[in-house]
Amino acid sequence: MPSLATDDEYRARWVDFHMADGTIVSSRRTNWRNTEWEKVVKLTMWINGAKHEVDCMNKLNFKGFLNFRVVSKEAVFDGNGKYKHHEITNIWVIGWTDGRVGYLKEVDFKMGHVIREYQQPLKELSAHIHPRIKKAVHGYSV
């Protein structure tokens, strides 16, 4: 399968979108915003051979999936509080929402290990909600 990845960063990192009809759409070929998000039943994230999944089964009040990256710089200080340097944080997050809360799995973008699993109010994640499900999640369309 030819990849649409634009650089080496995504050659060993992608998400498969499992659709309700049994087909699989890969982020290697289709941007997530061009996916029929309301028909996705499972996400499978691949990072350097590590596999992470989230599905809609047994999720009370499931409204949709979340899939986004976060890259930032954070200051690092020594034991005395003196600045040492900035460290780059590079993560990929997948999860799901019930319309109020995001249930998230944060994965290290470089190595593929889980950093943490947590919940976050959906109002803090509104920029990461797929346009096709905004109305179902929030009751309005963008």
Domain range enclosing 126: 8-138
Amino acid at 98: D
Q: Is 67 within the bounds of a domain?
A: yes
Confidence at residue 43, expressed as pLDDT on a 0 to 100 scale: 95
Structural domain count, the chain: 1
Confidence at residue 141, expressed as pLDDT on a 0 to 100 scale: 39
Q: Is 22 within the bounds of a domain?
A: yes
Q: Is 132 within the bounds of a domain?
A: yes
**46 vs 58, which has greater pLDDT?**
46
At 81-136, the pLDDT tens digits run 999 999 888 999 999 999 889 999 999 999 999 999 999 998 898 888 877 777 66
Q: Is 73 within the bounds of a domain?
A: yes
Q: Is 129 within the bounds of a domain?
A: yes
Which residue pairs, CB below 8 angstroms and at least 24 apart, start in 132-136?
132/36, 132/37, 132/38, 133/37, 133/38, 133/63, 133/64, 136/38, 136/63, 136/64, 136/99
Average pLDDT rounded to a whole number, residues 14-36: 91
Q: Is 114 within the bounds of a domain?
A: yes
Q: Is 120 within the bounds of a domain?
A: yes
Answer yes or no: is pLDDT of 2 > 60.
Answer: no
Going by pLDDT thresholds of 50, 70 and 90, the confidence category of residue 6 is low
- How far is it, in rounded angstroms, from Cα 21 to Cα 54? 17
Q: Is 75 within the bounds of a domain?
A: yes
User: pTM to 2 decimals?
Assistant: 0.80
